[in-house]
Amino acid sequence: MNEHVATKESAPAPMGIKALWLKEDWWAIWIGLTVVLLGIVLFLNGSPVLKSLAVNPGGLKWASFDQLADHFANNAGKYVVQFVVFALVFGVTSAIMGIKFGRFLVGFTFLYVLSVCMFAVGGWVNAAKYNLEPPLVALVVGLLLANLVPLPKILDDAFRVEYYVKLGIVLLGATFPITLVVTAGPVAIGQATIISLLTATTIYFLATRVFGLDRRLGAVLSVGGAVCGVSGSMAIAASVGAKREDIYTSVTLVVVWALIMILVLPFVSQALDLPAGVAGAWIGTSEFADAAGFAAASTYGKMVGHEDVSIKAFTLMKVIGRDLWIGIWSLVWALIATTQWEKKEGSARPGIGEIWHRFPKFVIGFFIASIVVTLFTGDYDADTLKKVVKPALMDPMGALRGWAFIFCFLSIGLTTRFRELKTVSRGALLAFSIGVAVNVVAGYILSVHVFGDYWAKL
Amino acid sequence: MTKQQTCGGCLHFVADAAELEREVPGLKILSSAFGSVRAETGLCRQRDFFCVPEHGCTDWRAAATAPQAA
């Protein structure tokens, strides 16, 4: 076999500064922080533009189609402007990253119209009674369309699950007090550390020692199950020299289990009567993909009427706790691969910079948005915050976050074509599934029994 | 292998995000090739495995134009 090595002296220039406009993490930061800063400026000038831009029928509580029609008739201009702004922002930034604007626009128009319908369903007065939570409805509708209707391929370019969820997370920072991050962060990181180590070692041990799978596949599955799904697998793919087939296996297992958990965890949490914060933390320790986890946490939050609480607990646990492990696992596996698996002279040794290199940068935007808004609102008394700042600034930013999330939830369904998922080996299925079971049970014990009081008070 | 003969300049190396998502169907369902965590990781079509631009091997073939890592 021909030798394949990494040589530092032969390395081409890294992407460097180009990542600032070629990676969706950075665009999520630029757009999210622009919304936050522009929102503050508009608020200070008494402008209703932000509120107008965030219009949606989600909070309408309509009881007849006439009411719904009236809403759209009265706000038609706002919806037109909203569509144009969204299409330009997402379309132009995607074009800069390499997706053709025309193709994106076609798909985005479809996605936007569907999203309006999802909000309208959620705004029905009886939606909660029938568990018609927009995240769940969006996911199911997306899945049905993707798997039962022959949608044109041209629509695909606008179904950017990760881009939308990253922007949603940055905007979430605007309604997330930094003080909560500071006080709750250590518990979240501690719980995430336990889960990450336990799940990763379980999957890797089962995959390689019990089921005899290739160690590269074992590594890819272990990080996928323990940290961040397919993104985690991709982060270490080059470090361990994973094969294309290994990533296919990760995709299939992550997608199937993530969907099962979106559909099951909210209802199990409801059956167990878990407080929103506890359920959010449990979902954060159980779900491996941010987008899927937000769908589950948001659904449960809406079911119990405390969406903000479940979303906050989920964010602390998943985004701040577990996602931080991506870079660490990448470094660890790179070290194992170069020092234990393939000891070759001249091979480049990974450095500590790998942690930053693979760090999910959009998290920075979340922190900055949180700090900026916390500092800005710190000057207002509680009464003014509630009666003036919240309705004119915080609520519209929350509504814009809702738009980003609904685009994401629909995109999860619309991109999941079961016929395109590859079959996986029995060993990989068992190793990963047992890891998921360990993850869910350990997450439950930690979220409900060990740190339950803490999460319940969020 | 010379200094210039790295995966970053190889015909077999796929690092462009949109192309990578086409090469690995399902990658964009709950992930993305446009994300920071992938960094410059790309797919070697020749050996069908993932590597980074600074890797290299004896199967190297000059790309018409160096692939853009996105």
CB contact burial A425-438 (16+ within 10 A = b; e otherwise): eebbbbbbbbbbeb
**Interface contacts (A, B; CB < 8 Å):** 186
pLDDT digit string (tens) for A97-116?
Answer: 999 999 999 999 999 999 99
Which of A182-191, A348-357, A427-436, B33-42 is least confident? A348-357
Is B52 within 8 Å of A6 when comparing Cβ atoms? yes
Residue A340 pLDDT level (bands cut at 50, 70, 90)? confident
pLDDT of A348 higher than 70: no
pLDDT of B63 higher than 70: yes
* Residue A9: predicted pLDDT: 43
Is B54 within 8 Å of A10 when comparing Cβ atoms? yes
From B20, which residue of chain A is nearest by alpha-carbon distance? A244
* Residue A425: predicted pLDDT: 97
pLDDT digit string (tens) for A132-190?
Answer: 989 999 999 999 999 999 999 999 999 999 999 999 999 999 999 999 989 888 999 99
Position with higher pLDDT, A29 vs B69: A29
Residue A294 pLDDT level (bands cut at 50, 70, 90)? very high
Given its phi and psi angles, is residue A25 left (phi above 0), alpha (psi -120 to 50 degrees) or beta?
alpha
Residue A1 pLDDT level (bands cut at 50, 70, 90)? very low
* Residue A343: predicted pLDDT: 64
Q: Can you tell me the distance from the alpha carbon of A99 to that of A438, in angstroms, rounded to the nearest whole number?
A: 39
Is B48 within 8 Å of A12 when comparing Cβ atoms? no
Residue in A175, A448, A130 with CA at minimum distance from that of residue A309: A175
Q: With beta carbons less than 8 A apart as the criterion, state whether A168 and A401 touch.
A: yes
Return the sign of the alpha-carbon dihedral for residues A138, A114, A119, A292.
Answer: positive
* Residue A341: predicted pLDDT: 86
The CA-based diameter of chain B, rounded to the nearest angstrom, is 38
Among A159, A217, A244, pick the best mutation site for testing chain B contact (most B Cβ within 10 A). Answer: A244
Is B50 within 8 Å of A421 when comparing Cβ atoms? no
Q: Can you tell me the distance from the alpha carbon of A32 to that of A24, in angstroms, rounded to the nearest whole number?
A: 12
Beta-carbon contacts of residue A15 (< 8 Å; ≥ 6 apart):
A22, B39, B40, B69, B70
Q: Can you tell me the distance from the alpha carbon of A200 to that of A326, in angstroms, rounded to the nearest whole number?
A: 12
Beta strand residue intervals within A261-402, DSSP E: none
Which of A78-87, A338-347, A410-419, B58-67 is least confident? A338-347
* Residue B64: predicted pLDDT: 76
Tokens of A191: 């719980």
Contact with chain A for residue B65, Cβ under 8 A? no
Mean pLDDT of chain B: 87
Residue A57 pLDDT level (bands cut at 50, 70, 90)? very high
Residue A354 pLDDT level (bands cut at 50, 70, 90)? confident
CA distance B53 to chain A (A): 7
Q: Can you tell me the distance from the alpha carbon of A84 to that of A90, in angstroms, rounded to the nearest whole number?
A: 10
pLDDT of A8 higher than 50: no
Q: With beta carbons less than 8 A apart as the criterion, state whether A33 and A369 touch.
A: yes
Position with higher pLDDT, B5 vs A442: A442
Going by their DSSP bridges, the two strands B49-51 and B42-44 should be labelled as: antiparallel
Q: With beta carbons less than 8 A apart as the criterion, state whether A348 and A6 touch.
A: yes
Chain B residue numbers with beta carbons less than 8 Å from the beta carbon of A330 are: 37
A398-407 mean pLDDT: 96
pLDDT of A416 higher than 80: yes
Which helix (H) or strand (E) is A27 found in, with range? helix A24-44
Give percent above pLDDT 70 in chain A: 95
Domain ranges of chain B: 7-51
